[in-house]
Amino acid sequence: MQITGYSDQISVAPGETIDFMVNCEGAKTYRADLVRIICGDTNPDGPGVKERMVRSAANKTYKGRKQVIHSGSFVAVPTSAALDDLKSFTFQAFIWPTTPEKGTQSIMSKWRDRDKAGAALIITKANGSVALCLGDGKGKVEVINAGKSLVAREWYFVAASYDAKTKQVCVYQLPLKDFPRVKDRGVVRAKSKLGRIGPHSEALTFGAYYQRTDKGRMVCGGHYNGKIDSPRIANRVLSPAEMELVKSWPLPGGLSNAVVGAWDFSQELKSTRVVDLTENRLHGETVQMPARAMTGHNWTGEEMNWRHAPEQYGAIHFHDDDIYDAGWEVDFGLTIPKTMKSGLYAMRVRAGKEEDYIPFAIRPPRGKATAKICFLLPTGSYMAYANEQMSTDVPLAQLLSGKLSVLQQQNLHLNVHREYGASCYDSHSDGSGICYSSRLRPILNMRPKYAMWLGGTGSSLWQFNADTHIIDWLEAMNFDYDVITDEDLHYEGLSAIEQYNVVVTGSHPEYHSTEMWDAMHEYTQRGGRLMYLGANGWYWRIAYHAESPGIMEVRRNEDGIRAWEARTGEYYHSFTGEYGGLWRRNGRAPQVIAGTGFSAQGFDVSSYYRQKPDARNPRAKFIMAGIGPDELIGDFGLIGDGAAGLELDRADRMLGTPPHALVLASSENHTDIYLVVCEEILISYPGIGGAESELVRADIVFYETPNGGGVFSTSSIAWSGSLAHNGYKNNVSRMTKNVLKRFVDPKPL
């Protein structure tokens, strides 16, 4: 892909400005045009790609330029006299390396790479051991290593000292746990051959070493994979006994003047700040969001909640592929005209035959609804899947879908350009799960015209592009609607949606913060109407960072469909301190809000629904109007040839489905690619496939809520792919329209 981009906002109101950042390679110029997205499905059997050009001040030709992402996390501590004046010193920390064999990795560094000046405590590429790297500032470098290879995922106390007068160097690599026949303990004393250590005034870094500044941003190399805990710096050589004392805090009196920096990563853990305990106040900032709330070297396993024992969570896990903000310069901005209609939009950028789309929502003016219907765009879920790389990284992908994975241009680009970051379904290069995902980077699978390997046969749409089927149907049925993102719902709560008669979800609203969950529940209890046109909703609990916009967190705990699982003791969100994992395990199963919850998944072909006796209940008359009693519902569609597919939800009184809920229809005849989700299985046993298990089904459910409200749930991701069948004249479209017309009517249900 020769052109890619992203925006600084995902939702913007009239009168507000959104900025766009574009990387354009191979062309001197590119064209940007604002388009309204109606349908992004390229399948010739469907309604086709539909977008409407919108006149705007940003529709222009712009000069192209290459913009680069510098991924990899670290901590930066600004320059200070206490650090710049170091001549003799001791560096020490606890580390838990995850890829010691990778090559040079910096643990802590007071280094300037341009002229090889300063010192760094590193893992050396020579043998994967701890080493002290020294540079004279004139290009000469000396590396003195402990001589023993580190063992991955084991804790070590590491240290290095340098005496400016005697040139004596000591390097310590001390495992906290000894294994017979494993020789990973090393202590080396040597004399430096350098004439001096080159002084400089660049920042101190943890987890990488400083290379240069690029357009105001630090660029680092030697990114470290693993945890660092309790780093310390002293202004003289410490003896082994003194280093032992310096591990803890407060310091004994004789050492307080020697220690110039002592960082406690467990303090202000929800922020991006790194706290220095000494009087020098050498506080730092995390860059590219390394993972916090990580178990430290002293974690005992007796406490799982970091808030209850913060002193045991003093580790930060750094990764060489962490990414929060791509950091590109702004190419152009757009101030939304006050007359602009709410909807789903994108800035389309084209350079020759190359194109990309940068989608965003234009919401109505803040505090004002311009329609009775709100389409809630599930941007939290889009972020969770952002730039997923399972199709190229995980052989399991083809087993899940029952077919060969068809790769898109975006997949191939991401496979090469790993700096774009991956999704919360992927793992870091060191094998640990990705728990943070940001929208401040190009999200190449959140695009119209994009087909995903996970989207079943036919159109193969998933998440964002699948939701354009609903947008297209709303337009075709001439319903007036506003678009609000669930990020708006997170920050504004009930006030974001309370003015609407009905809220319509996307096809897969899987990820919700506490604020989102509370707002939607309160909305339905106050008389609002909810149309849940998807499945696997209200599944994972997420958190948003209080200080850094556009990034979410998910901790995949001991249950649920997981591509990875959080390490024991790391189940609580670092952003909020809340227990992560499934909402079901937090006492709020999806059935409590939607009446149905995740039951099964399969990614080959979809099926249909057969009506149940409740379909003849007088309360459901408005829903079933115009649908014959013997009709199979949705035995057609663009997603797997049916309306019931991909992921399926079911009613369950034990999990919170209201006792008065009506089950109008249930799907049947699924293949054995469909399997019951793991949270339903207490013992592994045969018979959990679609041909045998009654839990492999989707239930269409309706029930009334207090104050005249109601909930209608279709319980299938594939439902929206059937709306346009036969020119929108079908029973899936009919049922959806029946419900929406009644839900818009303010008359109490």
Residues 269 and 390 in one domain: no
3-state secondary structure of 331: coil
* Tally of CB atoms within 10 A around 206: 26
* Tally of CB atoms within 10 A around 255: 18
Token code pair at residue 669: 């005849």
Residues 426 and 283 in one domain: no
Structural domain tally of the chain?
A: 3
> Could you say which of 283, 298, 318 is where a domain stops?
318
Residues 596 and 477 in one domain: yes
Q: How confident is the model at residue 717 (pLDDT cuts 50, 70, 90)?
A: very high
Q: What is the CATH number of the domain that holds 15?
A: 2.60.40.1930
* Tally of CB atoms within 10 A around 665: 28
Q: What is the pLDDT of residue 133?
A: 98
Q: How confident is the model at residue 55 (pLDDT cuts 50, 70, 90)?
A: very high
Residue pair 690/696 in contact (Cβ under 8 Å)? The answer is: yes
Residues 191 and 300 in one domain: yes
Answer whether residue 433 is part of any domain.
yes
Q: Is the predicted pLDDT of residue 380 greater than 90, yes or no?
A: yes
* Tally of CB atoms within 10 A around 41: 28
Q: What is the pLDDT of residue 391?
A: 83
- Mean per-residue pLDDT for 154-162? 98
Summarised one tens digit per residue, pLDDT across range 95-153 is 999 999 999 999 999 999 999 999 999 999 999 999 999 999 999 999 999 999 999 99
Answer whether residue 225 is part of any domain.
yes
Q: What is the pLDDT of residue 195?
A: 86
Token code pair at residue 242: 């003194």
Q: What is the pLDDT of residue 440?
A: 98
Q: What is the pLDDT of residue 592?
A: 98
List beta partners, residue 219. Answer: 212
Residues 306 and 336 in one domain: no
Residue pair 436/345 in contact (Cβ under 8 Å)? The answer is: no
Burial of 618 (0-12, 13-18, 19+ CB in 10 A): exposed
Residue-number span of the structural domain to which 16 is assigned: 3-69+326-364
Summarised one tens digit per residue, pLDDT across range 427-478 is 999 999 999 999 999 999 999 999 998 888 999 999 999 999 999 999 999 9
3-state secondary structure of 75: strand
Cα separation, 241 vs 176, in Å, equals 16
Q: What is the CATH number of the domain that holds 277?
A: 2.60.120.200
Residues 481 and 443 in one domain: yes
Residues 160 and 44 in one domain: no
Residues 225 and 156 in one domain: yes
Residues 36 and 81 in one domain: no
Query: Among the residues of 77-224, which ranges form H helices?
Result: 81-84
Q: What is the pLDDT of residue 575?
A: 98
Cα separation, 510 vs 519, in Å, equals 16
Cα separation, 316 vs 230, in Å, equals 10
Cα separation, 32 vs 36, in Å, equals 13
Contacts of 450 (CB under 8 A, 6+ apart): 40, 408, 410, 444, 464, 465
Residue pair 655/593 in contact (Cβ under 8 Å)? The answer is: no
* Tally of CB atoms within 10 A around 745: 14
Residues 44 and 96 in one domain: no
Answer whether residue 371 is part of any domain.
no
Cα separation, 658 vs 597, in Å, equals 12
List beta partners, residue 145. Answer: 131
Cα separation, 616 vs 610, in Å, equals 13
User: In terms of Cα–Cα distance, which of 225, 247, 221 is closest to 234?
Assistant: 247
Token code pair at residue 171: 């390097």
Q: What is the mean pLDDT of the chain?
A: 96
- Mean per-residue pLDDT for 708-713? 98
Predicted TM-score of the model (pTM): 0.96
Residue pair 650/698 in contact (Cβ under 8 Å)? The answer is: yes
Residues 382 and 357 in one domain: no
Residue pair 496/470 in contact (Cβ under 8 Å)? The answer is: no
> Could you say which of 337, 364, 391 is where a domain stops?
364
Q: Is the predicted pLDDT of residue 234 greater than 80, yes or no?
A: yes
Residues 144 and 97 in one domain: yes
User: In terms of Cα–Cα distance, which of 644, 536, 562 is closest to 396?
Assistant: 562
* Tally of CB atoms within 10 A around 587: 9
User: In terms of Cα–Cα distance, which of 191, 193, 196, 234 is closest to 115?
Assistant: 196
Q: What is the pLDDT of residue 114?
A: 94
Q: What is the pLDDT of residue 393?
A: 85
User: In terms of Cα–Cα distance, which of 231, 119, 204 is closest to 169?
Assistant: 119
- Of 33-37, 252-256, 677-681, 705-709, give the lowest mean pLDDT range: 252-256
Answer whether residue 369 is part of any domain.
no
Contacts of 622 (CB under 8 A, 6+ apart): 738, 739, 742
Q: What is the pLDDT of residue 252?
A: 85
Answer whether residue 372 is part of any domain.
no
